[in-house]
Amino acid sequence: MPEFDPLAFHERAVRTPSHEDVTEMRALLVDTLREHGHPPEVDDAGNVLASRGEGRPHVVLNTHIDTVPPHVEYSRDGDVVRGRGACDAKGPLAALLAAFLAVEPTEGRVTLAITPDEETESAGAAALSLDADAYVVGEPTDLAACTSARGRFQATVSLSGVGAHAADPTSGVNAVAAAEQALAAIRGFDAEHGPERHPELGPPTLTPTRIRGGDAANRVPDDCDIVVDRRTVPPETQASFFAAFESHVRDAVPADVGVEVTPVERDTPFLEAFDTPDDADVVRALRDAGAGDSRPFGAATEASYFAEDAPTVVFGPGVLADDEGPVAHAQREYVRRSDVERAAEIATDALDSLV
């Protein structure tokens, strides 16, 4: 059986475009697992699944193989590898794959579950039902054990009025004018309804990001749409937010203006906020193995889906941003090879103590 080299795999992965189609990247992963004696299953949602061991506890290692566009070609300067996916999330993938291939479970089971569309709809993650006792989700955390993250919801506030000639504005109902009260309601929502400030994640945010209304300069507009971005913290859920938010806006605008709040269309649930206790076994195992102190993760992640099932930690090499600016999703995306190796060591040692 050939010895697995996470840095060689990482180079091949970053050289493999997966911003439009993950077929080639998935084939690389499947072939690698086969070569090392663990032929995986590819399910109907495109997830790559492989397991070792039996019984409990059951620990799942998860990350994704898709990347955001555009593709950025691989390059290397000493310890630094650049290219699309270098840190998000092919560096974490190489580290978790190394840990999966290295561990020899004695009383539990470890499953590698790699999803195909985290950057878009997360249909792969939504289709998984793994009955795990713990999850480690690979993302660029600078080797810290991230135990919480904000969720993200998006909706459109639709205001409806009655069109009329602008020369006689009182004969109509101006939907654009009602946006004044709607925007004030958006600004004041959290003071009345929002969850309290989270000790790690801070307060929730509710931000209007787009507005459109009217179709002629001399006509009272009968419609106005405001798109809002919600970054939430525990314990708020999408159900509780949308119900309270629509009622709040309805109460704020004039009674003759119609109000409808429509969540953005998705085939999968929104990514909700999560918070894993610091004393969970998986958190202690990663920190004892050398992971950095618990802290929040700075972006929404598929860990949201898994945290409903079991304690979940986000962990991996690389950073979302550094002192110069954005790293993940940026043209300058990079990761340090030494961090990929260290992440593999930490994940392996943590697994050894868990299973």
Residue 132 has pLDDT above 80, yes or no: yes
Residues 6+ apart with CB under 8 A from 160: 175, 222, 223, 257, 258, 259, 260
Q: Is 57 helix (H, G, I), strand (E, B) or coil?
A: coil
Q: Is 260 helix (H, G, I), strand (E, B) or coil?
A: strand
C-alpha–C-alpha distance, residues 120 and 69, integer Å: 11
Q: What is the mean pLDDT of residues 316-340?
A: 97
Q: What is the mean pLDDT of residues 128-146?
A: 97
Tokens of 19: 């911003």
Q: What is the mean pLDDT of residues 42-50?
A: 98
Phi-psi region of 208 (alpha: psi -120 to 50; beta: other; left: phi over 0): beta
What is the per-residue pLDDT across 248-301, written as a single tens digit (0 to 9) for each?
A: 999 999 999 999 999 998 889 888 899 999 999 999 999 999 999 999 998 888
- Residue type for 56, please? R
Considering only CA atoms, which of 193, 206, 92 is closest in space to residue 138? 92
Q: What percent of the chain has pLDDT over 90?
A: 93
Residue 112 has pLDDT above 90, yes or no: yes
DSSP string of 156-212? EEEEE-B-EETTSGGGSB-HHHHHHHHHHHHHHHHHHTSPPPBTTTB--EEEEEEEE
Helices (H), the chain: 6-15, 23-35, 90-102, 123-127, 175-192, 238-252, 281-288, 303-307, 337-354
Q: What is the mean pLDDT of residues 82-102?
A: 98
Residue 210 has pLDDT above 80, yes or no: yes
What is the per-residue pLDDT across 9-26, written as a single tens digit (0 to 9) for each?
A: 999 999 999 999 999 999
Domains of the chain: 6-149+273-354 (3.40.630.10), 151-263 (3.30.70.360)
Compute the CA torsion angle 35, 51, 116, 204 (nearest 10 deg). Answer: -140
Helices (H), 36-74: none
Report the DSSP beta bridge partners of residue 228: 155, 208
Classify residue 271 by its DSSP letter: B
C-alpha–C-alpha distance, residues 77 and 11, integer Å: 13
- Residue type for 343, please? A
Which pLDDT does position 194 carry in this prediction? 87
Which pLDDT does position 213 carry in this prediction? 96
Q: Is 155 helix (H, G, I), strand (E, B) or coil?
A: strand
Residue 1 has pLDDT above 80, yes or no: no
Tokens of 287: 């920190």
N- to C-terminal Cα distance for the chain? Answer: 23
C-alpha–C-alpha distance, residues 290 and 286, integer Å: 6
| Strand 48-53 relative to strand 109-115, pairing | antiparallel
Radius of gyration of the chain from Cα atoms? 23
Which pLDDT does position 266 carry in this prediction? 86
Q: What is the mean pLDDT of residues 196-213?
A: 94
